[in-house]
């Protein structure tokens, strides 16, 4: 995406005033949320996310340090900040799950984070920010990525966790999503043992961020609940499902038969993909 920023002074009838104008190039395509999630497309999502972070890491700017964003609530580096908002779930049984996930983050992820590889994260690689277009074979290919406003200094595994979480939202078999997305990611950036071991919990952390902040926003803007709960409403069910299954069972699905090619997966649509 090309962004052109300019400032200009003009008289609009109220004297000469200065305005900031931002122009964005149009990207053709439709959001991935509107097409069937084939294993090949999910593989491509993981691959694109990894390639994107590699490119972002090469970015050079005198104010790059602004992306550190130590108090940014949506950064997976800052999961403990959710503790200040869990009151928004008072009365909801999922509150205890969210509290437990935050505690596990502090005890299981933070001590291992020294082994995570740093990069710049897009930070919001969701189904409404990924554009696709049909190819000549009738399948879909990724044609663009939108909305870089949540960029932050983070880690490669954070981007993968975010991509998996959002691809789960509209899929009829959410747990199965992690496998092709991870395979696509690892075709570019293979996970190290610490990153792989923390991936399950990081996906849960993203679900918790979505749920807690949605509920908090609804308290502030109750008239806008339908929009604010768009992701969280489905995410609540998936968070519970992942938590109840547990790390071991989920990882059996995500990491089974590692090392095999994507070919046999790519040609098959996961059961229910067409039932949107």
d(CA 261, CA 267): 12
Catalytic residue among 11, 90, 92, 124: 124
CA angle 198, 201, 207 (to 5 degrees): 140
d(CA 112, CA 115): 6
Helix ranges restricted to H, the chain:
39-57, 94-104, 156-169, 174-186, 193-220, 225-228, 230-245, 247-255, 263-266
d(CA 50, CA 138): 25
Tokens of residue 6, six digits: 């300019």
DSSP state of 158: H
Residue 191 has a CB neighbour count (10 Å cut-off) of 19
The partner residues of 131 in beta bridges, in order of sequence, read 31, 144
Task: Tell me if residue 147 is catalytic.
Answer: no
Residues with active-site annotation: 124
């Amino acid at each position: 995406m090309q962004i052109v920023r300019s400032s200009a002074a003009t008289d609009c009838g109220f004297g000469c005033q200065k305005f900031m104008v931002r122009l964005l190039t149009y990207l053709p395509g439709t959001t991935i949320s509107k097409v069937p999630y084939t294993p090949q497309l999910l593989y491509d999502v993981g691959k694109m996310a990894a390639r994107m972070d590699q490119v972002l890491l090469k970015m050079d700017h005198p104010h790059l340090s602004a992306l550190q964003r130590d108090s940014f609530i949506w950064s997976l580096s800052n999961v403990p900040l959710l503790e200040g908002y869990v009151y928004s779930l008072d009365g909801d049984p999922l509150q205890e799950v969210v509290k437990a996930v935050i505690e596990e983050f502090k005890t299981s992820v933070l001590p291992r984070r020294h082994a995570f590889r740093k990069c710049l994260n897009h930070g919001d690689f969701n189904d409404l920010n990924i554009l696709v277009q049909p190819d000549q074979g009738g399948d879909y290919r990724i044609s663009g990525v939108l909305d870089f406003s949540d960029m932050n200094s983070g880690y490669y595994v954070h981007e993968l966790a975010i991509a998996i979480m959002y691809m789960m939202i509209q899929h009829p078999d959410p747990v199965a999503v992690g496998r092709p997305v991870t395979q696509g990611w690892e075709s570019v950036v293979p996970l190290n043992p610490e990153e792989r071991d923390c991936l399950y919990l990081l996906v849960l952390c993203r679900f918790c961020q979505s749920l807690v902040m949605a509920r908090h926003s609804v308290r502030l803007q109750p008239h806008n609940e339908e929009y604010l709960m768009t992701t969280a409403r489905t995410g609540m069910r998936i968070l519970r499902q992942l938590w109840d299954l547990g790390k071991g069972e989920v990882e059996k699905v995500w990491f089974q038969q590692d090392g095999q090619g994507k070919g046999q997966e790519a040609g098959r649509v996961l059961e229910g993909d067409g039932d949107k």
